[in-house]
Amino acid sequence: MADNSSIEWTEATWNPVTGCTKISPGCANCYAERMSRRLHAMGNQNYRNGFQLTVQPQMLERPLQWTKSKFVFVNSMSDLFHRDVPTTYIQEVFDVMRRAYWHQFQVLTKRSGRLARVADAIDWPENVWMGVSVEDEKHAFRIDQLRATGAQIKFLSLEPLVGPLPQLDLTDIDWVIVGGESGPGARPMAEDWVVDIRRQSRRAGVAFFFKQWGGVNKKKSGRLLRGKTYDEMPPYTLHKKAV
């Protein structure tokens, strides 16, 4: 059975690494940190170190056990390109993703510098989507570093969006996700920021996905943008597992 996810743009999560450290304003109210502490308190062995970065080699081959094709968010509880994750381990994760060709893997990082440094050492499977998080204009440089990788599908997670992004360069970007921050201390997101990003995505011919408004009660806030739901996805090839 897969580790099913309630995240709107994926179906399952897979965490061959857990734990992380904060590097930018988007990390301020990290949901993974809150969840890690909760799982640690519950006695979950994968979170025995709390939110301290920990590789989980026993989780490496888990997607190979899932026979039904799924969208899989990789390291929802960490960052695969954290400086403390060995390059050889990153390569092992990518090897599993290549072998599990019937899934679509969505990898997301804030550490675009490390991504750029190891990109040439990665054999990029067609079923791996590579993305970077960009929370405000100051961190838009991550997009250029993503663009330089060999990933066939490249995407942006503009969440938590804490500032406008009026001049996005969406060249060679396939998918844009926008979302507001949720949970305790959630920072507000302006509607004009989202509408402008939607406009830029339309102009560039890039699939646009609006995840949520966020806030303390994200269910109440919902995910309608001016009365409409946006669930666009980039074109991809889905394969079935060979019997």
Residue 2 has pLDDT above 90, yes or no: no
CA angle 57, 59, 65 (to 5 degrees): 135
Q: Is residue 198 within 8 Å of 191, Cβ to Cβ?
A: no
Q: Is residue 97 within 8 Å of 128, Cβ to Cβ?
A: yes
Query: 26-48, pLDDT tens digit by residue?
Result: 999 999 999 999 999 999 999 99
pLDDT at 3: 87
Exposure string for 38-62, b = 16+ CB within 10 A, e = fewer: ebbeeeeebbeeebebbbbeebbeb
Residue 1 has pLDDT above 70, yes or no: no
Does the residue 120 lie in any domain?
A: yes
Query: 67-112, pLDDT tens digit by residue?
Result: 999 999 999 999 999 999 999 999 999 999 999 999 999 999 999 9
Does the residue 183 lie in any domain?
A: yes
pLDDT-based confidence at 243, cuts 50/70/90? confident
> CA 210 to CA 8: how far, in whole Å?
9
> CA 170 to CA 153: how far, in whole Å?
13
Does the residue 28 lie in any domain?
A: no
The CA–CA distances, whole Å, from 61 to 16, 96, 186 equal 9, 6, 35
Query: 147-165, pLDDT tens digit by residue?
Result: 999 999 999 999 999 999 9
Does the residue 18 lie in any domain?
A: no
Does the residue 7 lie in any domain?
A: no
Q: Is residue 176 within 8 Å of 207, Cβ to Cβ?
A: yes
pLDDT at 44: 97
Query: 165-220, pLDDT tens digit by residue?
Result: 999 999 999 999 999 999 999 999 999 999 999 999 999 999 999 999 999 889 99
What percent of the chain is modeled with pLDDT above 70? Answer: 99
End-to-end CA distance of the chain, in Å? 18
Does the residue 168 lie in any domain?
A: yes
The domain of 138 spans 61-221
Does the residue 134 lie in any domain?
A: yes
Domain count, the chain: 1
Tokens 């997009």 sit at which residue?
A: 143
Does the residue 136 lie in any domain?
A: yes
pTM for the whole structure: 0.96
